[in-house]
Amino acid sequence: MGALAVQTFELGVRFGDFQALYGVNLAISPGSFVAIVGPNGAGKSTLLKVLLGLDPGNLRDGEARLTGKAEVFGQAPKALPPGWVGYVPQVKSFDRSFPALALEVVVSGLRRAWPFRIAPREREVAMAALEQVGAAHLAGRRLGRLSGGELQRVYLARSLVRRPRLLMLDEPATGVDAVGEADLYRHLEAYQQQSGATVLMITHDWEAASHHASHVLLLNRTVIAYDLPAVALCHECLSRAFGHVGHAHSAPVIR
């Protein structure tokens, strides 16, 4: 059997006196679509950044300490070959005033550096990635002129341009309207089905998790549940993760 896509062993991250993650044990099979769900401050983004191979000190300002172990495809995250992992951070974290074209953003994912000049082959590959997510018409448009959904598609194309085996997304639907959200999931699922990639997606949308994910990781600084959506999103598990399940956090209907 091949290596697991993601495996962690008693993983913990501490920022000064705050324990962001503790005792996180995971075994995620290749080809899984995992929705990561939990309250604010549950360590969801911290977990993704550890899997990206970032040093604990880069996760937040101040003193930080990583304990335990994380592996991606059987290797330390920092040891992975370039292009094996793609990452889509939150749209709201981007500076929309940055004078860049959508094509340049995608090429930067291919080159892993900012492209002051774009070679013909780079343009061809980047345009194919934009086409894959239905955004080829945005190639010459500046970031500041893109809607939330358009910007998210551009950054999805950037993450896919090297055809990663593991794709991680941090709240990809934040600030995106319903039509843009549906398009995002459609393109994401098409890539996964075509490539067999593993997907880890942070979301606050339990309906999206139940509809699109093969598994749900319910996290609140440690693993509350990791199972099929119908199991992990049960009333008892949600109560343990969020402390309550009231009107604002009603459990989804699993069909």
Question: In angstroms, rounded to a whole number, what is the distance separating the alpha carbons of residues 158 and 239?
Answer: 37
Domains of the chain: 1-80+211-255 (3.40.50.300)
- Answer whether residue 58 shows pLDDT above 90: no
Query: Taking Cα atoms as reference points, which of 225, 230, 218 lies closest to residue 255?
Result: 230
Inform me whether the pLDDT recorded for 253 exceeds 50.
Answer: no
Going by DSSP bridges, is the β-strand pair 215-219/223-227 parallel, antiparallel, or unpaired? antiparallel
Mean confidence (pLDDT) of the chain: 88
Average pLDDT over residues 214-223: 97
Token code pair at residue 134? 């239905």
Q: Please say whether the beta carbons of 140 and 104 come within 8 A.
A: no
How many Cβ atoms from other residues are within 10 Å of residue 89's Cβ?
18
Q: Give this prediction's pTM.
A: 0.88
Query: pLDDT band at residue 254, thresholds of 50, 70 and 90?
Result: very low
Instruction: Report percent pLDDT > 70 for the chain.
Output: 89
* pLDDT of 153 above 50: yes
**pLDDT of 96:** 66
